[in-house]
């Protein structure tokens, strides 16, 4: 089913998506439409244009592919599924996401992965191909964030990386380690074994957008994990 989004406001467009009997939908002329795919299960949506805030919020098993940029809060509290952006995205990508995967070809804004968490078999993944803004992984409680820094000059993360981090892992592809890390974060150069542990996610990125997995993994990566002595860790139960 193909839908011309220019004919509809947010509410009507999302109603059409939910009520469609088709499992695959293609949206044309998307421009700032919010909440596309919110809470959706069992569908695949191809978007041509620039979706607005909260794309795939509470996504529950659907797949969303964007040919264009995306705005803020994609994958907000996402529970399952995949969001693939052939472009850039805005702030708070993956806010509080609980599972599923987000792949962004180019750059992302501030607070990527803020409050993302994992529980038992639920394990979220975010892969950013370019660079990210400040507060990457703020209060991260689980899952994996990977920043590949493709085309970026210097370290591809902004300031205050990992502030309040108390779970999960981050992998940053860079010749130099992130500067000014808070005391809650431990930073070590990733071993070959640790880099191989994220190969599957880099392979998926390459499948979506191109590049060479082996060449990317030959680069230096930095692994960021919570400091076991962090004052935040004692506030949370171990999964």
Domain residues of the chain, as ranges? 2-235
Assign 231 a pLDDT band (cuts: 50, 70, 90).
low
pLDDT digits (tens, 9 = 90+) for 107-149: 999 999 999 999 888 899 999 999 999 999 999 999 999 999 9
Distance (Å, whole) CA 40 – CA 136: 27
Residue 230 above 80 pLDDT? Answer: no
Chain centre distance of CA 58? 14
Q: What is the pLDDT of residue 236?
A: 53
Q: Which residues contact 42 (CB under 8 A, 6 or more apart)?
A: 23, 61, 62
The candidate with the shortest Cα–Cα distance to 148, out of 167, 168, 171, is 171
Residue 239 above 50 pLDDT? Answer: no
Chain centre distance of CA 41? 19
Span 162-169, average pLDDT: 94
* CATH number of this structure's domain 2-235: 2.160.20.60
Q: What is the pLDDT of residue 235?
A: 53
Give kind and range of the element (H or E) at residue 102: strand 101-104
């Amino acid at each position: 089913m193909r839908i011309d989004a220019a004919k509809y406001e947010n509410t009507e467009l999302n109603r059409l998506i939910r009520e469609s009997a088709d499992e695959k939908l293609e949206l044309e002329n998307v421009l700032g439409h919010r909440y596309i795919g919110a809470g959706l299960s069992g569908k695949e949506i191809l978007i041509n244009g620039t979706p607005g805030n909260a794309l795939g919020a509470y996504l529950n098993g659907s797949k969303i592919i964007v040919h264009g940029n995306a705005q803020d809060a994609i994958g907000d509290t996402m529970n399952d599924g995949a969001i693939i952006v052939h472009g850039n995205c805005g702030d708070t990508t993956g806010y509080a996401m609980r599972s599923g995967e987000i792949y962004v070809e180019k750059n992302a804004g501030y607070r990527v992965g803020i409050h993302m968490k994992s529980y038992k078999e639920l394990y979220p993944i975010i892969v950013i191909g370019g660079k990210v803004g400040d507060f990457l992984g703020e209060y991260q409680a689980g899952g994996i964030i990977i920043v590949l820094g493709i085309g970026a000059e210097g370290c591809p993360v902004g300031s205050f990386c990992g502030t309040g981090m108390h779970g999960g892992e981050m992998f940053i592809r860079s010749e130099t380690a992130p500067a000014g890390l808070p005391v809650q974060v431990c930073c070590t150069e990733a071993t070959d074994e640790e880099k191989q542990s994220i190969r599957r996610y880099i392979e998926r990125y390459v499948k979506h957008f191109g590049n060479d997995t082996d060449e990317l993994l030959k680069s230096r990566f930095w692994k960021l994990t919570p400091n076991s002595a962090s004052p935040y860790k004692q506030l949370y139960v171990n999964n």
